[in-house]
Amino acid sequence: MSAPDDTLHIPEGRPLTIWAVSDGRAGIENQVLGLAQAIAHKTHAQIVTRHIRYRRIFDRWPTFLKLWPDQMLKRDSDPVGPPYPDIWIAAGRATLPHSLRQKSASKGKTLVVQLQDPRENLSAFDLVIAPQHDQVAGDNVLSILGAPHRITKDRLASEFKPWADRFTGFKGPFVTVLIGGKSKSHDLSAARAEAMAAEIRQAVVTDKATLLLTISRRTPETARDILVNALKDLPGIIYTGEGDNPYFAFLHKADHILVTEDSINMAVEAAATGKPVHILSMDRRSALKSTRKFDAFHRALQDYGAARPFNGELRTWSYTPLNETDRAADTVLALLKSRATSS
C-alpha cells in the first residue's frame, strides 16, 4: 500500500459518507454498490449513488483529453463537487477523469478507491481493487478473484420472499441457468444454443429437476428463441425480460447453477452462494486478449473449487462461498483506519 496521508480520517459522531460512482450500467454499478454496502455492513455509513454521463460529443474521448470533465457532463449527470465524501468508490471508464482528480479536489480528505484496471497512473488512487486476471501490480493494488458484487445470504433470502408463492408445487433439485450473450469476446450462435439446450434438458430430465432459466438482454434473439422453445415444456420458470426480474430468487433457490462463460459478474455471484457452479461454453469471437483473461478467470474459479465445466451432468461438490467483496471492504476500512491513527 502507498504511504499514509495524515489528512484522511474516520469521522467522529457521524456516519462515513461513501459515494458509489459509475455510469449507471447495471454490471458496473453493482460492483461499486456491492463494495459500498459491504463497508456499510461493517460500520455506520451513508451511501450516495453518483452517475457520471458525458455529452455525446465527449463520451468517446480518451481520458487524457477530458481536461475539464465537469464541463463535459450531461445535464442529467449527478454532481460530483463538494462536499466530498469520506470514501469515493468508482468503476468504469467514464469515472476515470474525476477519479484521477479526486484526491486533489478533496485536498486529500477523500479515500479514493478505483475498481477494475484503470490503465492510468496508479498513484492517483489510494487503492485500486482489480481482478486477478488483469494482472495489475502495485503497492496500492488489491487483487481479487472476479469483482465485487451485492450477493449476500440475507439479501437472497429477502429477495426470494416476494417470489415464494411462485415456487409452490415445484420440487427440487432446482437448476438455475444464467444465460449471457454477445460480447467482444463471446457469442451464442444458433448451433451452440441448440447444443446448450440439449445439455440442459438432459440434466434436468435425468435428475427430475425444476428449471429456473433467465435470459439476458444481450442474448441473440435466435439463440433466445431456441432455448425457450426447447425448454419451455420442462417444469419451472423461464424469465425472458418481461416483468420483475427473479434473478436473486433463482440464486437463492438453486441447488445447481449453470452460467455461460461470457460473464465474470454472473459467475462470481453464483460462486458467492456456495452452490455448485457449472460453466456453459460459448462461441469464441476471436483470440482477443479479453478472451484469454476470461480463461484465466475461469481457471482461478475452478482452482478455488467453486466451478467446473458443464458436461451435461449435475455433479455435486462443496466449497466455501466466495466472499472477495468482504475482503475488499476490510482492506478499505483498514487503510482508512491506518491513516486516521497516523495523523
Give pLDDT, residue 291: 75
Maximum distance among all Cα pairs of the chain, rounded to whole angstroms: 65
Q: What is the pLDDT of residues 224-245, one digit of tens each?
A: 999 999 999 999 999 988 888 9
- The DSSP secondary-structure symbol of 75 reads T
| pLDDT tens-digit map of 321-335 | 999 999 999 999 999
Contact assessment for residue 9 and residue 340, using Cβ atoms and an 8 Å cutoff: yes
Confidence of residue 286 (pLDDT cuts 50, 70, 90): low
Average pLDDT over residues 187-214: 95
CA dist list (Å): 252 to 15, 40, 247, 307, 323: 31, 23, 9, 17, 16
| Domains, the chain | 16-145+324-341 (3.40.50.2300), 153-309 (3.40.50.2000)
- Global pTM value: 0.86
C-alpha cell at 58: 465527449
Q: Where are the beta strands (DSSP E) in 61-217?
A: 87-90, 111-115, 127-131, 141-144, 174-179, 186-187, 210-215
C-alpha cell read off for 118? 484503470
The CA distance from 145 to 54, in Å, is: 31
Residues 6+ apart with CB under 8 A from 179: 188, 213, 214, 215, 216, 219, 224, 227, 260, 280
- Distance of alpha carbon 149 from alpha carbon 242, whole angstroms: 24
- Identify which of 257, 245, 185 has the alpha carbon closest to the alpha carbon of residue 217: 245
